[in-house]
Structure 1
């Protein structure tokens, strides 16, 4: 699928994986609608040409619908990348007591419900565009899970459950949207050098990266973005969850 001259939507666009995906799509000639929370959007400085940034909460139907209204009607929406997410850590039972139920709900709401909310609304917009090829393809949606979906670690009950839901959603969504010519795929990254990893400190970040079999380092957001481009441009890739983890398998 050709990206030049098309529109794209990226959530979690202000930093980390989302910011790298925005840059990669712009380099391919797409115009990107970047969505993030208002405080994150306000922190963005010197936005690139070809990017429109809108403040919205991915869990809000109204917010996302209003954000999509900012799409340029002259550019067909072909690519959507869901990067928005949170990752608080809490054991189910610890010295601090039992896991807070509202925290669990919040993680699932942002990571899983937010992903589905964006997916359902953008699919409606995509379905109204003209097909790009003889197969009837109209676009691709790329979601972000995590290898925690398969090997949830201590303290990751909420996070692993939310990301596991995204993995389970992938094939069902791809089958649902096949009649509209929309592909759905998911990337499950391992350890990536994002602000979240940096917040743990250089020693912890370095230790985690060294546990990766090869290359023995954290991935870069740009490597994640390259995989997004590959998925977008590979027209036969559909309904798949791709691990991007350097062969890492998480221990407890």
Structure 2
């Protein structure tokens, strides 16, 4: 599918992998709608705001072309916030006349916690709920609410393709480490729903591809200690380093453009296989 002349919606697009993909798609001629939490220094921005003036910009997006991107504050754990965001996205698409081409739910969170600690205290259910709500429920809710808009697009080629969904799993979906029960559950579920979602959407000409990165440079991995980072490097084959956001973006761009990639989970990990513990 051609990227130029289409609009792509990216949750979690104000940082890390999502931001890098936004930059890549803009460079390829697309418009990009970035759905993310409002900046912390702008409390007046609300994820459920109905005023378009409250989401014209985000500090992290200042270098993006102003006429081809829009920032819409959105908490993906809130169905009503997603509904509001979709409504504003639809209005923006109508004004630009560039139809929706892809949905990329890239918002994610870690919050490591042992399911049972050494004091025999179970992991807080609030922490588990939060991880599942962002990584799994937020992914599904954003997709389901945007799908009617994507499915109504006029097919763009002889195959009848309308668009693509790019989901983000993790190597933890396959080799979750200690403390990653909730995170691995959420990312494993994302990986598992790739094929059935592709089958559900085949009649509409919509493809589904999931990318499962290992350790990549991101806001989440920036919080890792040097000890943990060095321990992770011991599990790496080649290259022995964290992945770069632009490497993720490059694969996502190819997945959008290659019509034969569908219903598949692609590991992006440099042959890394995570050990039980560091």
TM range (shorter): over 0.9
Q: What CA distance in whole angstroms lies between the structure 2 residues aligned with 1:200 and 1:43?
A: 24
Does the alignment pair 1:30 with 2:30?
A: yes
Q: Is the contact between residue 151 and residue 249 of structure 1 (CA under 8 Å) also seen in structure 2?
A: yes
Q: Is the contact between residue 145 and residue 164 of structure 1 (CA under 8 Å) also seen in structure 2?
A: yes
| Aligned pair partner of 2:176 in 152, 157, 173 | 152
- Within a 5 Å distance, the mapping from 1:186-205 to structure 2 comes to 186-202=210-226, 204-205=228-229
* Cα distance, 1:51–1:42 mapped onto 2, change above 3 Å: closer
Does the alignment pair 1:243 with 2:234?
A: no
State the partner residue of 2:53.
none
Q: Is the contact between residue 104 and residue 158 of structure 1 (CA under 8 Å) also seen in structure 2?
A: yes
| 36-45 or 173-182, larger mean C-alpha shift | 36-45
| Aligned pair partner of 2:233 in 204, 209, 222 | 209
Q: What CA distance in whole angstroms lies between the structure 1 residues aligned with 2:133 and 2:84?
A: 19
Q: Which has the larger radius of gyration?
A: 2
- For structure 2, which runs of at least 5 residues remain unmatched after alignment? 41-56
Q: Is the contact between residue 35 and residue 53 of structure 1 (CA under 8 Å) also seen in structure 2?
A: yes
Q: What CA distance in whole angstroms lies between the structure 1 residues aligned with 2:208 and 2:131?
A: 22
Q: Is the contact between residue 187 and residue 244 of structure 1 (CA under 8 Å) also seen in structure 2?
A: yes
* Cα distance, 1:238–1:189 mapped onto 2, change above 3 Å: same
Q: Is the contact between residue 210 and residue 217 of structure 1 (CA under 8 Å) also seen in structure 2?
A: no
| 51-60 or 84-93, larger mean C-alpha shift | 51-60
Q: What CA distance in whole angstroms lies between the structure 2 residues aligned with 1:45 and 1:160?
A: 30
Q: 1:121 Cα shift? A: 1.4
Q: What CA distance in whole angstroms lies between the structure 2 residues aligned with 1:193 and 1:209?
A: 13
**How many residue pairs align between the two structures?**
252
* Cα distance, 1:128–1:85 mapped onto 2, change above 3 Å: same
State the partner residue of 1:227.
251
Matched position secondary structure for 2:136: helix
Q: What CA distance in whole angstroms lies between the structure 2 residues aligned with 1:90 and 1:165?
A: 18
| Aligned pair partner of 2:60 in 39, 44, 51 | 44
State the partner residue of 1:76.
99
State the partner residue of 2:47.
none
State the partner residue of 1:92.
115
Q: 1:168 Cα shift? A: 1.0
- Note the alpha carbon deviations across 1:58-89, whole angstroms, 9 max, x for none: 12222222222333121110122111011001
| Aligned pair partner of 1:67 in 85, 89, 98 | 85
| Aligned pair partner of 1:101 in 116, 125, 130 | 125
Matched position secondary structure for 1:35: strand
Q: Is the contact between residue 13 and residue 34 of structure 1 (CA under 8 Å) also seen in structure 2?
A: yes
Q: 1:206 Cα shift? A: 4.3
Matched position secondary structure for 2:241: coil
Q: 1:198 Cα shift? A: 2.0
Q: What CA distance in whole angstroms lies between the structure 2 residues aligned with 1:169 and 1:45?
A: 31
